[in-house]
Amino acid sequence: MTTSNYATERETTEGKVFTVTGGDWDQVVSGTDPINDERIVVNMGPQHPSTHGVLRLILELEGETVREARSVIGYLHTGIEKNLEYRNWVQGSTFVTRMDYLAPLFNETAYALAVEKLLGITDDITERANTIRVLMMELNRISSHLVWLATTGMELGAISIMLYGFREREYILDIFETITGLRMNHAYVRPGGVAQDVPDDAIVKIRNFLKMMPKKLKEYEDLLSGQPIWTERTKNVAVLDVTACVALGVTGPVLRSAGLAWDLRKTMPYCGYETYEFDVPTHTDGDVWGRYQVRLAEIRESLKLVEQAVDRLAKRGPVMVSDKKIAWPAQLAIGVDGMGNSLEHVAKIMGQSMESLIHHFKLVTEGFRVPPGQVYVGIESPRGELGVHAVSDGGTRPYRVHYREPSFVNLQALPAMAEGGLIADVIAGGASLDPVMGGCDR
């Protein structure tokens, strides 16, 4: 005669109830619910909107609860860092601009600062070149945050904000095209300065943007901040406190949303940021809502920085170092086919001495030599600390260039944010990290 380990179950208003009279707990439960310990493994990706690119998440689910989350990267690998070893130092700008494709000007500036540090010409960069770099980076920070706001809104069901965010970003890309000839992947910031000066019609567009954008920010907040679905999907979701951020190396808006005002523009200034007036926005909740608040506040601070930079451009000056052995020999102009040397400058080069023409040819084809050594330079990109470790063996090409990419580092936090939460919150949490896979994989 066998004895049942549990009494006959009975249905109640609270569900099925039974009394255990002995035996192993797992066996008892499996006898009642044979699939209680079964979990489902779900592939989220490798193409999914919340990743802003090609990322694969392997989620182990128990019901709708995420028990384990793993990130799989590498689907967008382009070999940019390796390619730099086969191009001269100036040509590297054309490669690095394509890594984080939402923040190309930050990639270029970090690279240029590293090369300039190796050359020992950091203090020789002209005031106007530094001002233009700040101007372009802060406009780029705004455009990057607008993409984050637009895509995150779309992922959480707010389709309108997606349209509005991309609408305003288009205005910034139009400014970039006026200045550099390209909407993205500019290769505009180069070792020694920038490719060309800011034209007057771009100044007019920037001032119009400065008048228009604060009103648009108010519209975004009116649309989202009081919306109950938006607040339910963002508040107390994907929480990552400051201790976890520091332990995982997380920087940028995610770290500042947890309460730590760490911003390299303030803590380790570069490009003259110490001479500008701006604040470092923080929040204390460390959740998706906090990251939303920080990024909107950062857009406002960037607008202040852009206005100060534009005012400084009233004072004219050179945009490239005076050393002709380093300065890229160009007087660039925007043509129908993009940016290139003006015909007047080509005629000037061809009409000069043979020695001048040979120097121009050698500098463009071979590039300049960089003294042997290694440096690390970090700047504050829209996603956090973007660092460049550059190594020279004394030649005309980099021996090694490695980027400390914030998207790559910040993705470590995804399991900590997702495990124990709902699968729907993986979307909000992953989007709040703002990963750009072009930078992560590079």
Q: What's the 3-state SS for 158-218?
A: CHHHHHHHHHHHHHHHHHHHHHHCCCCCCCCEECCEECCCCCHHHHHHHHHHHHHHHHHHH
Class of 80-326+368-441 in CATH: mainly alpha
Please give the average per-residue pLDDT across 235-258, as a whole number: 92
User: For residue 27, is pLDDT > 70?
Assistant: no
* 358, two tokens: 């040979």
| 314, pLDDT greater than 80 | yes
Res 335: pLDDT: 61
Average pLDDT, the chain: 86
Whether pLDDT at 73 is above 90: no
C-alpha dist (Å) from residue 49 to 154, 215, 426: 9, 28, 12
Give the whole-angstrom CA distance, residue 43 versus residue 60.
9
> Average pLDDT in the 275-280 region?
94
* Calpha distance 67→136 (Å, rounded): 43
CB-CB contact of 395 with 370 (8 Å): yes
Rounded distance between C-alpha atoms, residue 141 and residue 105, angstroms: 9
Q: Which of 405, 203, 416, 399 is nearest to 312 (CA)?
A: 203
Distances from the Cα of 416 to the Cα of 64, 71, 149, 240, angstroms: 17, 12, 23, 8
Predicted confidence band of residue 355 (pLDDT cuts 50, 70, 90): confident
Q: Around Cβ 54, how many Cβ atoms within 10 Å?
A: 19
Q: How many CB atoms lie within 10 A of CB 4?
A: 12
Q: What is the mean pLDDT of residues 324-337?
A: 67
CA pair distance 300, 295, nearest whole angstrom: 9
Work out the average pLDDT over 245-250. Answer: 92
Rounded to 10 degrees, the C-alpha dihedral 89/90/91/96 comes to 80
Q: Is the pLDDT of residue 24 over 80?
A: no
pLDDT confidence band for 47 (50 / 70 / 90): low
Residue 6's pLDDT is 44
Q: Decide: 339 and 332 in contact? Cβ < 8 Å.
A: yes
The share of the chain scoring above pLDDT 90, in percent, equals 52
The pLDDT value given to residue 270: 94
Asked if 58 and 69 count as a contact pair (C-beta separation under 8 A), the reply is yes
CATH 1.10.645.10 residue window(s) in the chain? 80-326+368-441
pLDDT of 1: 46
Q: Are 61 and 425 in contact (CB under 8 A)?
A: no
Choose the weakest-confidence range: 2-16, 298-312, 397-411: 2-16
Percent of the chain residues past pLDDT 70, beyond the cut: 85
Q: Is the model's pLDDT at 10 over the cut of 70?
A: no
Query: Residue 243: its pLDDT value, please?
Result: 93
pLDDT for res 303: 96
Whole-number Å distance between alpha carbons of 151 and 159: 9
pLDDT, tens digit, 9 for 90 and up, residues 372-403? 999 999 999 999 999 999 999 999 999 999 99
Angle at alpha carbon of residue 435, lines to 215 and 42, rounded to 5°: 120
Bridge partners (DSSP) of residue 403 are 388
Region of residue 245 (left: phi > 0; alpha: psi -120 to 50; beta: else):
alpha
In sequence order, the 6+-apart residues with CB closer than 8 A to the CB of 62 are 39, 40
Structure tokens at 134: 């700040």
For residue 254, pLDDT beyond 90: yes
Nearest Cα residue to 115 out of 188, 191, 186, 189? 191
Q: What number of helices (H) and strands (E) belong to the chain?
A: 18, 12
pLDDT of residue 13: 67
List, in order, residues 6 or more apart from 39 with CB less than 8 Å away.
60, 61, 62, 67
Work out the pLDDT band at 146, boundaries 50, 70, 90: very high
Distance CA 391, CA 406 (A): 20
Report the distance separating Cα 388 and Cα 384, nearest Å.
Answer: 13
Confidence of residue 206 (pLDDT cuts 50, 70, 90): very high
Closest to 185 (Cα-Cα) out of 266, 97, 96 = 97
Least confident interval from 6-10, 76-80, 294-298, 415-419: 6-10
pTM for this model (two decimals): 0.86
Of 174, 221, 224, nearest to 201 by C-alpha is 174
Q: What is the mean predicted confidence (pLDDT) over 399-422?
A: 91
CA distance 129 to 148: 28
CA atoms of 90 and 378, how far apart (whole Å): 19
Q: What is the pLDDT of residue 42?
A: 84
What per-residue confidence (pLDDT) applies to 17?
63
CA pseudo-torsion sign 210, 277, 196, 438: negative
